[in-house]
């Protein structure tokens, strides 16, 4: 290790134990720098300090990188913003990213509810309008993080279950069937919103959030990104001649061009989404105009052609969505229970997205109270979904959190500008419909990168965990493996038997069981996430770094004359308690633990019961 020569400041009059002074000297701001190293062979001294760094050559030794509470390298954090023109472009980019999920969700549920292109366009515009309102509420009053609140995939299963219910079989008019099923969905969303608001505003989620240690949060955030893998390459492959070039273009613009073209302004990496969409959309237009898909099957034409969405002709020029536009909501207990369960899944997913967004916005770790407040305002978002009739509930957008990492712009103002785009383009429907006609394989190509960024945010949390602990390895590996394995079990069971594992001969159950298989899979993921959260209690023992250096804030309290222990000292004493037995076996650290003032420090810090340690 590189030797740093320094001398202690003259103001420091504390006598340091031998295990401190032998390797460390006091430096400004209560930090310590290693000043002596054991003799090393000549060949070893020529190696650089850390892998991936150094002035020349590569190191053959593995060296850890420093732990960072706030992610470095972010160009604009949550409270700072780029210039107004650049902020507007970034906001439009966020709008384009969330537009894909809005179109996919609406295009899935509206035809099953009996609606046509007109109803689909109206539902898309309504969902955009409500998403704009919810995003503003969350960024101003909720977590105040740069998160977009948009439509959620987890509500598709209960919505489809309602839409395919036999109680609409007597309705011959598709438009009437659409309105009736939409009213039932609205009623279920309204009931579920009060459940979510109760969880958040009454502080119940704050109790759970206290267990979100890095070891518990890492699998949660990783699975938040990886759990949406089915919306990535499988959707891209529906039109591989459009989707694959979009993926290659996005990687090329964001990862290669910035290194090939040196510039003081980050243009290609920050606006890689815009460049990729424009280039591949034009390419898809050329393929469509040249008749490349004229003789293709209808499924391929729908995925590849740019003129098959039917939204541009069906959308109104100007239409302002308003509450209860489909009529008075109706309430059914069974529908409400299924949507309540989906809303709990949305809470779990949003929590993982909040954590990822806070990392990419270079924010400090989220306090439990902020988690709970964000969930409460998520309940308000679901309430607005129910009142306006969007057909689905809301969650924090995973893909937009990934966009924060891709652009390294975590500005809250940028996300608020994107909310204004949602409101404006939802009212002027023709303009929004043109953008909504982007081929979905292009959107899936974006997901392949953006969801990966969210998963990597979870991997970044592992720097705060003790990965040398076998218990940590078990919790991390088991949670990730089971989270993916359980979902695969349900998918294979459905393909082989045509129904879920829980199957009866009831006609009513037979009608709905297949629609709820994926929903049961989601509930299993929720149970797994809860187990990981509660396993976070072991973090204080397993992830702590046992180093006597951590107890340096307590030096004034054990010196002569002793001073009252500071809050920092008490925090370190509580953190290092599991390590005291090891210190007693260390000849250099034992005098420090046996100091006669240590019992007084333990008593003042409220841990007198733990000292002396029972080894």
The residue among 519, 491, 398 whose CA lies nearest residue 448 is 398
Tally of residues, the chain: 615
Are 316 and 429 spatial neighbours (Cβ–Cβ below 8 Å)? Answer: yes
Q: What is the pLDDT of residue 495?
A: 60
Between strands 149-151 and 31-34, the pairing is unpaired
What gap in Å lies between CA 104 and CA 392, rounded to an integer?
Answer: 12
Q: Is the pLDDT of residue 7 over 70?
A: no
Are 385 and 437 contacting, i.e. CB atoms less than 8 angstroms apart? no
Backbone φ and ψ of 151, nearest 5°: -65, 150
pLDDT the model gives residue 586: 75
Indicate the pLDDT class of residue 35, thresholds 50, 70 and 90.
very low
Instruction: Give the Cα separation of 358 and 74 in Å (integer).
Output: 11
Largest CA distance in the chain: 91
Asked if 543 and 465 count as a contact pair (C-beta separation under 8 A), the reply is yes
d(CA 77, CA 411): 5
282 vs 146: CA distance, rounded Å: 31
Encoded tokens for 50: 């850390």
Query: Tokens in use for 613?
Result: 């340690």
- Dist CA 328 CA 343 (whole Å): 22
Which stretch of 21-25, 73-77, 499-503, 505-509 has the lowest confidence by average pLDDT?
21-25
Q: Can you tell me the mean pLDDT for 416-441?
A: 92
Q: Above 80 in pLDDT, residue 518?
A: no
d(CA 390, CA 380): 14
Confidence band of 535 (pLDDT split at 50, 70, 90): low
CB atoms within 10 A of CB 458: 24
Torsion of the alpha carbons at 414, 415, 419 and 425, rounded to the nearest 10: 60
Structure tokens, 565: 């222990």
For residues 295-316, b (16+ Cβ closer than 10 Å) or e, as one string?
eeeeeebbbbbbeebbbbebbe
Which H or E run includes 32? strand 31-34
How far lies 439's CA from each of 238, 279, 301, in Å? 10, 13, 10
Q: Is 325 exposed, middle or buried (0-12, 13-18, 19+ CB in 10 A)?
A: middle
More confident residue, 498 or 252: 252
Beta carbons of 409 and 265 less than 8 angstroms apart? no
pLDDT in the model for residue 564: 84
List, in order, residues 6 or more apart from 522 with CB less than 8 Å away.
154, 157, 342, 345
String of DSSP letters for 103-144: HHHHHHHHHHHT--HHHHHHHHHHHHHHHHHHHHHHHHTSS-
How far apart are alpha carbons 226 and 342 in whole angstroms?
19
pLDDT given for residue 502 in this prediction: 58
| Residue whose C-alpha is closest to residue 158's, from 506, 520, 493, 497 | 520
Locate 43 and state its tokens.
């060949």
User: pLDDT tier at 343 (50, 70, 90 boundaries)?
Assistant: very high
The partner residues of 57 in beta bridges, in order of sequence, read none
Rounded-to-integer distance, Cα 16 and Cα 602, Å: 19
In the predicted structure, residue 253 carries a pLDDT above the cut 70: yes
Residue keyed to tokens 């969905």: 185
Within a 13 Å sphere around the CA of 65, how many CA atoms are in the beta-carbon half?
11
More confident residue, 154 or 15: 154
Residue 10 has a pLDDT of 41
Q: Do 554 and 601 touch, CB atoms closer than 8 A?
A: yes
Kindly give the residue spans of alpha helices, DSSP state H, lying in 391-437: 398-407, 412-427, 429-436
**12 CB neighbour count, 10 Å cutoff:** 13
Q: Which residue is associated with the tokens 């079990």?
A: 489
Number of H helices, E strands in the chain: 28, 4
pLDDT band at 193 (very low <50, low <70, confident <90, very high): very high
**Residue 510 pLDDT greater than 70, yes or no:** no
Question: Of the spans 324-338, 502-516, 552-566, which averages the highest pLDDT?
Answer: 324-338
- Lowest-confidence segment of 222-226, 295-299, 542-546 by average pLDDT: 542-546
| Cα 50 to Cα 558: distance, rounded to the nearest angstrom | 36
Which range has the worst mean pLDDT, 128-142, 251-265, 555-569?
Answer: 555-569
Asked if 464 and 67 count as a contact pair (C-beta separation under 8 A), the reply is yes
Residue 356's pLDDT is: 96
* CA dist 135 → 198, 374, 417 (Å): 20, 11, 10
Q: How confident is the model at residue 15 (pLDDT cuts 50, 70, 90)?
A: very low
Angle between helices 174-201 and 333-360 (to 10 degrees): 60
3-state secondary structure of 31: strand
Q: Where are the alpha helices (DSSP H) in 214-362?
A: 214-226, 233-236, 240-251, 257-260, 272-289, 298-304, 311-314, 333-360
Distance separating alpha carbons of residues 131 and 136, to the nearest angstrom: 9
């Amino acid at each position: 290790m590189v030797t740093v020569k320094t001398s202690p400041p003259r103001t420091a009059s504390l006598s340091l134990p031998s295990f401190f002074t032998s390797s460390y000297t006091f430096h400004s701001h209560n930090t310590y720098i290693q000043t002596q190293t054991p003799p090393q062979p000549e060949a070893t001294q020529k190696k650089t300090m850390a892998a991936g760094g150094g002035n020349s050559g590569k190191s053959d030794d593995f060296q850890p990188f420093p732990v960072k509470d706030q992610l470095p390298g972010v160009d604009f954090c949550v409270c700072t913003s780029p210039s107004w023109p650049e902020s507007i472009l970034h906001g439009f980019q966020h709008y384009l990213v969330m537009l894909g999920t809005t179109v996919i969700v609406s295009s899935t549920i509206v035809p099953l509810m009996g609606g046509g292109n007109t109803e689909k366009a109206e539902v898309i515009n309504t969902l955009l309008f409500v998403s704009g309102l919810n995003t503003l509420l969350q960024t101003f009053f909720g977590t105040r993080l740069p998160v977009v609140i948009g439509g959620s995939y987890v509500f598709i299963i209960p919505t489809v279950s309602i839409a395919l219910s036999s109680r609409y079989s007597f309705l011959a008019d598709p438009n009437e069937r659409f309105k009736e099923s939409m009213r039932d969905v609205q009623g279920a969303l309204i009931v579920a919103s009060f459940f979510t608001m109760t969880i958040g505003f009454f502080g119940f989620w704050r109790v759970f959030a206290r267990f979100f240690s890095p070891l518990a949060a890492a699998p949660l955030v990783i699975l938040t990104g990886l759990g949406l893998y089915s919306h990535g390459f499988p959707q891209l492959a529906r039109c591989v001649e459009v989707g694959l070039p979009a993926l290659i273009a996005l990687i090329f613009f964001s990862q290669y061009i910035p290194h090939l073209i040196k510039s003081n302004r980050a243009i290609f990496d920050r606006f890689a989404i815009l460049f990729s969409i424009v280039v591949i959309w034009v390419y898809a237009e050329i393929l469509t105009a040249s008749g490349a898909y004229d003789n293709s099957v209808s499924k391929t034409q729908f995925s590849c052609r740019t003129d098959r969405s039917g939204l541009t002709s069906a959308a109104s020029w100007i239409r302002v969505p308003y509450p209860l536009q489909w009529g008075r909501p109706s309430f059914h207990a069974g529908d409400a229970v299924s949507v309540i369960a989906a809303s709990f899944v949305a809470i779990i997913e949003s929590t993982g997205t909040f954590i990822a967004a806070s990392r990419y916005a270079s924010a400090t770790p989220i306090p439990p109270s902020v988690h709970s407040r964000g969930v409460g305002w998520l309940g308000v978002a679901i309430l607005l979904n129910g009142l306006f009739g969007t057909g689905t509930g809301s969650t924090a957008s995973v893909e937009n959190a990934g966009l924060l990492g891709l652009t390294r712009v975590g500005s809250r103002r940028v996300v608020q500008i994107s909310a204004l785009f949602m409101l404006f383009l939802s009212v002027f429907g023709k303009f929004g419909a043109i953008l909504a006609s982007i081929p979905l394989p292009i959107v899936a190509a974006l997901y392949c990168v953006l969801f990966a960024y969210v998963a990597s945010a979870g991997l970044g949390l592992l720097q705060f965990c003790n990965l040398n602990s076998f218990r940590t390895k078990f919790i991390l590996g088991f949670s990730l493996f089971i989270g993916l394995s359980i979902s695969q079990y349900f998918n294979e069971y459905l393909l082989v038997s045509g129904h879920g594992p829980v199957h009866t001969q009831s006609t009513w159950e037979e009608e709905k069981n297949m629609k709820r298989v994926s929903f049961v899979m989601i509930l299993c993921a929720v149970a797994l996430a809860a187990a990981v959260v509660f396993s976070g209690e072991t973090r204080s023992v397993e992830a702590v770094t046992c180093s006597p250096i951590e107890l340096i804030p307590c030096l004034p309290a054990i010196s002569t004359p002793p001073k009252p222990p500071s809050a920092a000292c008490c925090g370190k004493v509580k953190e290092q308690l599991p390590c005291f037995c090891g210190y007693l076996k260390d000849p250099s650290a034992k005098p420090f633990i046996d100091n006669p003032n240590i019992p007084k420090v333990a008593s003042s810090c409220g841990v007198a019961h733990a000292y002396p340690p029972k080894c």
